[in-house]
Structure 1
Amino acid sequence: MDCPNCSAPHADAARFCARCGTPLHVGIDRSRHFAAHPEEPVRALALMSTLMPHLSGGRHHVYRGVVGLALMGALVAAAFGVLAVALVLAAIALPAVVLIYVHDHDLWRDEPITVIGAAFALPLLLGVGVGLLQDHFYLPVLLNAWRQRLPTPIQILELGVVVPVVAFVAVLIAPTLITARRAFRHPVDAVVICALSGAALSLGLSVVVQRGAFAQLVPSAGNPMRAAFGSLTIDPAQAAFTALTLGFLQPIIFATAAALAVVPLRGPGVNPAPGVAKGVLLLVLYELATTLLAPDAARGIVLTALVALVLAAAGLLGTREALHKSLMAEAQAALAGDVALDRAPDTHQICAHCGAAIGADAAFCQVCGTATAALARHPYPPITATNPAPSA
């Protein structure tokens, strides 16, 4: 059978075009098969396959379990009033998992230290700088003023607009610099680098904003996330919501805001302007919610967590759509001869999702439709007389 889009010939058993990813049968909906993880639809709230798209199907539960255990430990620590432990466990969960993932999948094997240092250490320092900027704007606010009145228009502008715009620029620095190099320009790499950078920047920001939790001191007022640590008598539920927001949801928001801008920038024929606007809007809405809900004390902490949850979900969906479009556009551009297919599979590679053999220079698995650029490398055993090469 021939592909209806590019006319490439395929065997009758094929379900997707190996060159452009187009479904070969009428009953197959491409939107139900995410290009980086075909068992999931494009619009799915799946954290692991979104921020770590190289994952093979058999590894998802490992990273999901690590994050789940870290969050469970944070909640238990918050329940017992050990706030510093709760904050640390929640804040390091995502960056730690991404670093483990990079090591497990041997990404950027030629320059792992350089890339990880630039994608993690630099955003971590920038996050500390953004936190200090927030502190500068919080200084004029009287202690416990958040309990009596709404922030002034100037404070709303500073905390809800200026700070998130600066944070957005900061979170883009490392991914933009790293993906400018040819070896790291692929959209799949851009997502991973943005995930690591966003998580690191969020960690640095949280360390500054919540340093009172570690010193057992009353921090500056003005932020509902700080309010949970405003005294030594702390509601465990407030502490849990604070740890969940700052340690888990905030890193996702920062990571996806960066990915929304960088992935289209590195994908062929994709306009990055809408992604930049979406990324800025994501951070502005998050900081505005944090600022405007500050006077509501305990209820404000819960409402901020709910807003952060919605924004994190929107960021994940937007990132998945951007990555899916970029992978499809790359294959289409390669067909047109505009660019060469990057990350073409090696000879005798198999699909990590369905186990089918993948032909050389294929952009997609013809059985499950996953983009070969997103596959973890799982080559066949060495070819011998008793183990011949599989047929494509």
Structure 2
Amino acid sequence: MSMVPAGEFCGHCGAHLTRGDAFRHGAFAAVPSEPVVHLSIVSTLFPHLPHRRGGAFRWALLAGSVAVVILAALHLFAPATIAAVFLLPVLYLLYLYEVEVYESEPWLLIGATMVAGAVLGYAFTTLTGEGVSRLAISGDSGANVLIAGVIIPIVAQALMLVGPLFLYFVRSRMREPLDGLTFGAASALGFTLAMTLTAIWPLLAGPLVGSGSPLDWALRLLSAGILLMLINAGTTSVVTASIWLRRYDLRPSSRGWPASIFATVAVAVGAQIILGILTVVVPDLVLQVAVRGVVAVALLMYVRLVIHESLLVEGALHEIGPDAACPECHRIVPTMLFCPACGVARAAAKQTRMHSAEPS
């Protein structure tokens, strides 16, 4: 029989003992200092990153977004575009380097996710771009909605899953749900990066100082760069996390429906279709950006819910290891699936390069 060490959280199942809350709504399993319902790009898409290290990434994300707006205001639209589309992919690569999660096979991970996603994104945009343009010019609204608003978004979503599914079958030892989430987000970011660059390449090859409304350009770059990146990363990562969870979960009966494969696929496909149709039938740029913003926020909330449920599932394994410092709160506690002191899931709390380099 396993013992439960004294603490605010159960080291086995992660339940909040002092509040009697098994689901622990007020303590996100990856970052217990945040509630489950909390808007945070960094702690949602970078769940392995300790809370203390997230500040640098938040500032980088904010600085990059501000740089895009400033460059657009100066009519430097090509540099602004590059900054917008590279911001999240570069931050994600830095995140993978920082947390040292996949240090043994970094090139396989990057190649099967970001690089494969980028290749597929380029091929997809090259093959479909001309056809979509012709369809829009033809004036056939029904066919335009069906093809550009429904079929193409579904195919794009399927292509973003190719790289992660390859890893699912060839690297079965990478079995935790957060592995799937990481692979899905990386693949989606690579796909979206290549897709966007391919579509706007004529702009990048043009003059440095462009013409047009800086406000319109700032909104377009916010939508096509940052918001679309977040949406695609969100839809792809929840699907891959649920697929990995199906292999990992030892208690399928205890799993909530939001983290099921059916639910995540329905959300991903539904979001892509809604946004695809919106792009076709709604010409107003401000409204498009507003809707994409709402969808991006909703998806981030859903990703957090899937992460939270996936990490709580690990309570099926009752093991107690030697005392060690928690990577999140740094208190000396028994090594268990959850830190009894702060409640962080050990699967999410990985050592960072800075922390591992600190003298003991």
Please confirm whether the aligned pair reaches a TM-score higher than 0.5, indicating the same fold.
yes
Query: Greater helix percent: which structure?
Result: 2
Q: Where in structure 2 are the equivalents of 1:170-319 lying within 5 Å? A: 170-180=159-169, 181-216=171-206, 233-267=211-245, 268=249, 269=252, 270=255, 271-294=260-283, 300-319=284-303
Contact 2:4 2:12 in 1 (8 A): no
- One-letter amino acid of the counterpart of residue 4, structure 2: P
SS at match of 1:183: coil
Which segment drifts farther, 204-213 or 96-105?
Answer: 204-213
The two structures have a TM-score, normalised by structure 2, of 0.88
2:19 is the counterpart of 1:26: yes
Long gaps (5+) in structure 2: none
Judging changes above 3 Å, is the alpha-carbon distance between structure 1 residues 379 and 85 closer, same or farther for their aligned structure 2 residues? closer
Count, aligned residues: 342
Contact 1:91 1:247 in 2 (8 A): yes
Q: In structure 2, how many angstroms separate the alpha carbons of the residues matched to 1:327 and 1:293?
A: 39
Cα deviation digits, residues 284-330 of structure 1 (max 9, x gap): 11211111113xxxxx1211111111111111111111111111112
Q: CA RMSD in A?
A: 2.4
Q: In structure 2, how many angstroms separate the alpha carbons of the residues matched to 1:61 and 1:278?
A: 30
Give the equivalent residue in structure 2 for 1:329.
313
Contact 1:49 1:60 in 2 (8 A): yes
Contact 1:190 1:266 in 2 (8 A): yes
Q: In structure 2, how many angstroms separate the alpha carbons of the residues matched to 1:72 and 1:128?
A: 27
- One-letter amino acid of the counterpart of residue 208, structure 1: T
Give the equivalent residue in structure 2 for 1:16.
9
SS at match of 1:30: coil
- One-letter amino acid of the counterpart of residue 350, structure 2: A
Q: In structure 1, how many angstroms separate the alpha carbons of the residues matched to 2:26 and 2:325?
A: 22
Contact 2:219 2:286 in 1 (8 A): yes
- One-letter amino acid of the counterpart of residue 106, structure 1: E
Q: Where in structure 2 are the equivalents of 1:84-99 lying within 5 Å? A: 84-99=78-93
Judging changes above 3 Å, is the alpha-carbon distance between structure 1 residues 26 and 66 closer, same or farther for their aligned structure 2 residues? closer
2:68 is the counterpart of 1:74: yes
Measured after TM superposition, the shift of residue 161 of structure 1 is: 0.4
Judging changes above 3 Å, is the alpha-carbon distance between structure 1 residues 53 and 110 closer, same or farther for their aligned structure 2 residues? same
Long gaps (5+) in structure 1: 1-5, 218-231, 295-299, 336-340, 384-392
Q: In structure 1, how many angstroms separate the alpha carbons of the residues matched to 2:147 and 2:28?
A: 39
- Percent identity of paired positions between Structure 1 and Structure 2: 27
Q: In structure 1, how many angstroms separate the alpha carbons of the residues matched to 2:193 and 2:266?
A: 24
Contact 1:175 1:262 in 2 (8 A): yes
| Structure (1 or 2) with the larger CA radius of gyration | 1
Q: Which has the higher contact order (CA 8 A, sep 6+)?
A: 2
- One-letter amino acid of the counterpart of residue 48, structure 1: V
Measured after TM superposition, the shift of residue 7 of structure 1 is: 8.0
SS at match of 1:358: strand
Give the equivalent residue in structure 1 for 2:348.
374
Give the equivalent residue in structure 2 for 1:44.
38
Q: In structure 1, how many angstroms separate the alpha carbons of the residues matched to 2:105 and 2:344?
A: 26
Which segment drifts farther, 130-139 or 105-114?
Answer: 130-139
Give the equivalent residue in structure 1 for 2:113.
119
Measured after TM superposition, the shift of residue 141 of structure 1 is: 4.5
Q: In structure 1, how many angstroms separate the alpha carbons of the residues matched to 2:102 and 2:323?
A: 21
Give the equivalent residue in structure 1 for 2:334.
359
Contact 2:179 2:244 in 1 (8 A): no
Q: In structure 1, how many angstroms separate the alpha carbons of the residues matched to 2:143 and 2:136?
A: 15
- One-letter amino acid of the counterpart of residue 284, structure 1: I
Measured after TM superposition, the shift of residue 216 of structure 1 is: 3.5
